[in-house]
Amino acid sequence: MTIKIVEPLENLARFQGEPALERIRSEFLSAVDVPAWRELIEEYLVLESPKTRYAYPYFKPWSIAAAPGSGAHHAHIGGLALHVLQGLCNARALADAHETRGLPLRRSLLYAAILLHDTMKRFIYRFTEECCLEKAEDPFIGKREDHHSWLLRELHARGVDRELLLAVAAMHGLDDVSLQDGVRPLAVVNHYMSISGTGLTMASEEVSAEHVFGFLADSDWPWSGRAQQRCAAVAGPLARRLGVTEAYMRLYLGSRFGFEAVDAMVGTHGLEEATELLAECMA
C-alpha cells in the first residue's frame, strides 16, 4: 500500500484549511460590525505586499486557507485557519459565559483582534523540499521580531485606531509572570508595542474583558503543540507502510486530519489500532 504525495502542497488545504476558512467567514467575520475593521481584516487575509520593514527576509505569502499555523503547533497546510477558527470558537464560548452574567462585551472587537493577530504568519513559514518547516522570525518569538510585532507595525502604519491596536497587541499576553519576579503588569503587551515601533503603551485602566478573552482564546498551543509532537509516534509506522518520508507523513496527517484529532484517536484507541484506522482512511 502506498500514498500519493500531493503536489503542490497547497492542495492539502481542502481537508482542513478551506472548511475552516468558510466557517471563519460565515460565523465570525460577518459578526464584525465595524466596517473599517472588517475591510482591514479582508485586506490582511489576502495581503501580498506589506507596507513596513521586517527584520528577516520573508517568504512568498501563502493563501490564508493553506498557511501553516506555527512551527510549534499546527505546522501543517491549513494550520493557520484551523488555529484561528479554534480561537474564535473559544472566544465565543467565553463571551457566552460572560454575557450570562449580564456583563457587556464587544464581540466585534474580540473577533476582529483574533482574526487579525496571526495574519502575518502567511509570510513567515514555508516547507522545504523535504517537508521540514522553516521560519523567518526569532527562534523564540517576542525577543526582537516576529509575526506579532510585524503586524502591530503594519496596523500602526495604517493609522488603525487605538482600541483595535491594543486588542491585537493583547492577544499574545498582558502580564509577564515568573516564579522569581512575580507579576510585571502589562510587560508583555508593552514589550510588543516597543519592538514594533508604535510608540504606544497600554495602561492598567485600559485592560478589558475583550483583551483577556482574546489572549485566553488563543492559548490552545500548549495542548495543540503537544499533540503535534505526539503525532510522531504514529507518523513513523504509517510512513514506512505507505512509502513516504516520515516528515511528509507528519505534514499529511496534520493537513488531512489535524494533529489534535490524530492525537485523540491514539489516546482513544491506542497506537496500533489508531495506525490501522488511519491507514484505512488513507487507502
Task: Quickly state the pLDDT bin for 95 (edges 50, 70, 90).
Answer: very high
CA torsion 90→91→94→100, rounded to 10°?
-130
Query: What mean pLDDT, rounded, does the chain reach?
Result: 95
Q: Which residue has the higher pLDDT, 71 or 125?
A: 125
Q: Quick one: cell of 179? A: 516564579
Report pTM.
Answer: 0.95
Report whether pLDDT(148) > 90: yes
Residue 6: its pLDDT value, please? 79
| Dist CA 265 CA 262 (whole Å) | 5
CA torsion through residues 89, 252, 5, 270, sign = negative
Task: Quickly state the pLDDT bin for 21 (edges 50, 70, 90).
Answer: very high
Angle at 90 between CA 88 and CA 95, to 5 degrees: 90
CA torsion through residues 194, 197, 202, 208, sign = negative
Q: Quick one: cell of 214? A: 482574546
Task: Quickly state the pLDDT bin for 198 (edges 50, 70, 90).
Answer: very high
Q: Which pLDDT tens digit goes with each residue over 210-263?
A: 999 999 999 998 899 999 999 999 999 999 988 899 999 999 999 999 999 999
